[in-house]
């Protein structure tokens, strides 16, 4: 498995998103998926305190067990858990970190990420609290999620001296959602930030299992709850996904291969984080990386899934 950098951390180019743990996967299901990821060479596990109503962190920690030292664990804070636990106030940052450490059963968080901007708290205050956690050894690196280029610049300007700064940003990015290309990817280049795409498979549309004119498969993430498909299952997305699948097939590859390899072709992308429900899905994801797309391939992709224009 190829590895790339997130600050001082060396992570597998394919990571495992843990948002299914504690929701769609129970303890045993989590253990089997985590074991498959470790066997496949994945060392980067991305969770959040709010995933599975806090159970994701707990199940992940239990599943890693004695192998915790072999991996990079990323988690997030800031999403509302209840009326007291939300946001990025310094006192809550410290509380949230302690809670995550306890649930994960570990003494350190490798990458601690602000899950979304908190308009009620100056970013300098949040960064100050995160710097304390880094200095104490409870956190190794810090990152953010859902930040615009302007917010990334604001955060950079708030750091002085040798204080901890964001080393990564995690935003939605896929062949069907190219918004980061407007400004965020360029800002990552400028600041030397790692970019971590979430929803890299557009909720599963880029696996090829949702097709026009055919019933959607039952029990998937997008069909498990009424309305969950939302924007992912639009006619436009289905049409583009089918066209991309044909492109990949013409080159002897799968749509999954294309989705992963296209993202990893961007130098600022450090790891493609995708969830999995089964060991088979884990193995499919890890096998999807490594296709070196040509200039002709990229031009055809842009024709079928056009980049955004102003």
Instruction: State residue 112's pLDDT score.
Output: 98
Instruction: State residue 231's pLDDT score.
Output: 75
More confident residue, 276 or 219: 276
Q: Tell me the pLDDT band of 229, cut-offs 50, 70 and 90.
A: low
Instruction: State residue 233's pLDDT score.
Output: 84
Per-residue tokens: 37 = 């990821």
pLDDT at 218 over 70: no
Q: Across all residues in the chain, what is the average pLDDT?
A: 94
Instruction: State residue 82's pLDDT score.
Output: 92
CB 271 within 8 A of CB 9: no
As a whole number, mean pLDDT of residues 124-142 equals 98
- The residues, ordered by sequence, that sit 6+ positions from 74 with a Cβ below 8 Å of its Cβ are 44, 45, 46, 47, 109, 110, 111, 112, 113, 143
pLDDT tens per residue across span 279-299: 999 999 999 998 999 999 999
CATH of domain 3-205+256-291: 3.20.20.100
Instruction: State residue 223's pLDDT score.
Output: 53
Instruction: State residue 235's pLDDT score.
Output: 87
Instruction: State residue 211's pLDDT score.
Output: 72
- The residues, ordered by sequence, that sit 6+ positions from 160 with a Cβ below 8 Å of its Cβ are none
Active-site entry in 51, 86, 173, 210 = 51
Q: What are the start-end ranges of the H helices in the chain?
A: 27-39, 55-64, 90-104, 123-136, 149-157, 184-191, 235-250, 255-264, 279-287, 295-304
Burial class (CB in 10 A: 0-12, 13-18, 19+), 62: middle
For 95, the 3-state DSSP assignment is helix
As a whole number, mean pLDDT of residues 66-83 equals 96
As a whole number, mean pLDDT of residues 232-249 equals 93
Residue 173 annotated to the active site: no
The alpha carbon of 156 is separated from its chain's Cα centroid by a whole number of angstroms, namely 21
This prediction's pTM: 0.93
Instruction: State residue 310's pLDDT score.
Output: 60
As a whole number, mean pLDDT of residues 73-86 equals 95
Domain boundaries defined on the chain: 3-205+256-291
As a whole number, mean pLDDT of residues 34-47 equals 98
Token pair 């289905």: residue: 238
Q: Tell me the pLDDT band of 232, cut-offs 50, 70 and 90.
A: confident
Q: Tell me the pLDDT band of 40, cut-offs 50, 70 and 90.
A: very high
**HEC per residue, 220-284:** CCCCCCCCCCHHHHCHHHHHHHHHHHHHHHHCCCCHHHHHHHHHHCCCCECCEEEECCCHHHHHH
As a whole number, mean pLDDT of residues 132-139 equals 98
Instruction: State residue 38's pLDDT score.
Output: 98
């Amino acid at each position: 498995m190829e590895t790339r950098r997130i600050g001082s951390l060396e992570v597998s180019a394919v990571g495992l998103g843990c948002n299914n743990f504690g929701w769609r996967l129970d303890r045993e299901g989590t253990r089997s998926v985590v074991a498959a990821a470790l066997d496949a060479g994945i060392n980067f596990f991305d969770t959040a305190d709010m995933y599975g109503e806090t159970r994701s962190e707990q199940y992940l920690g239990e599943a890693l067990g004695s192998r915790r030292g072999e991996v990079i664990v990323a988690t997030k804070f800031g999403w509302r858990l209840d009326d007291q636990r939300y946001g990025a106030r310094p006192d809550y940052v410290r509380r949230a970190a302690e809670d995550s450490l306890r649930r994960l059963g570990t003494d350190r968080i490798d990458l601690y990420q602000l899950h979304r901007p908190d308009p009620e708290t100056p970013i300098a205050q949040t960064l100050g609290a995160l710097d304390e956690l880094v200095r104490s050894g409870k956190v190794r690196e810090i990152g953010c999620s859902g930040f615009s280029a302007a917010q990334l610049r604001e955060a950079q300007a708030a750091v002085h001296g040798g204080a901890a700064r964001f080393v990564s940003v995690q935003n939605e990015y896929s062949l069907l959602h190219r918004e980061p290309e407007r400004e965020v990817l360029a800002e990552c280049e400028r600041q030397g930030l790692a970019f971590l795409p979430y929803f890299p498979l557009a909720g599963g549309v880029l696996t090829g299992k949702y097709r026009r004119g055919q019933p959607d498969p039952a029990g998937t993430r997008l069909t498990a709850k009424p309305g969950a498909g939302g924007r992912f299952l639009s006619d436009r997305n289905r049409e583009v996904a089918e066209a991309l699948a044909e492109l990949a097939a013409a080159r002897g590859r799968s749509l999954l291969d294309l989705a992963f390899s296209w993202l990893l072709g961007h130098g600022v992308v450090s790891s493609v984080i995708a969830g999995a429900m089964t060991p088979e899905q884990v193995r499919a994801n890890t096998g999807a990386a490594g296709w070196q797309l040509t200039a002709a391939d990229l031009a055809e992709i842009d024709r079928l899934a056009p980049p955004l224009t102003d």
